[in-house]
Amino acid sequence: MTHALVVIDVQTGFCPGGNLAVPDGDAVVPGINALMDGFAHVVLTQDWHPAGHSSFASAHDGRAPYDVVAMPYGPQVLWPDHCVQGTADAAFHPDLRTDRARAIVRKGMNPAIDSYSAFFENDRTTPTGLEGLLRTLGVTDLTLVGLATDFCVNYSALDAARLGFATTVREDLTRAIDLDGSLAAARDAMRGAGVALA
């Protein structure tokens, strides 16, 4: 058994002061750092949007952040502009240990499709390449931490379980946006998919 830690989107944009701040988002950093040395492999994901991304409310006339629109791949929450490539908002939290990262998986780079999951864009079919990396390394078990519990962590956990990885989410090392009950729905979905919530 090879166990990998996947650290989801611990970026300044999702921490207090960021453009899409998750409440208490920076509180997960010390615990994640402490956890890293216990894993054979550590992978970081990074939201990395081009300016004007289709998931930004600013790209849709008359729309506001947190409106939901129909996209060719399904419903899409419109977000404030965040984690734009090369900006300080897209950088990893300055206290996050990045030295242990075997790989950094950047997602949300296609301007036409958002990407919550570490494994697939939101069309649920276009891969990020993470699965191939983990298979090559012989990884069977995953622990997921990071931001936000109800979106990128949830989607990543559901895909990991669907792909056959034994998947655990450390809820103490995640924080949620909790948009209209999204946290409770995410927990139910993860439990239903066989994800362990620890």
Active-site positions?
A: 9, 107, 152
Q: How far is CA 88 from CA 66, 82, 110, 124, in A?
A: 23, 10, 20, 29
Whether omega for the bond prior to residue 148 falls within 30 degrees of 0, making it cis, is yes
CA–CA separation, 108 and 118 (whole Å): 10
C-alpha Rg value of the chain to the nearest Å? 16
Task: Report the DSSP pairing between strands 74-77 and 68-71.
Answer: antiparallel
Q: Give the residue from 64, 47, 30, 43 showing the smallest Cα distance to 148.
A: 47
Q: Structure tokens of 111? A: 């301007």
Strand, coil or helix: 101? strand
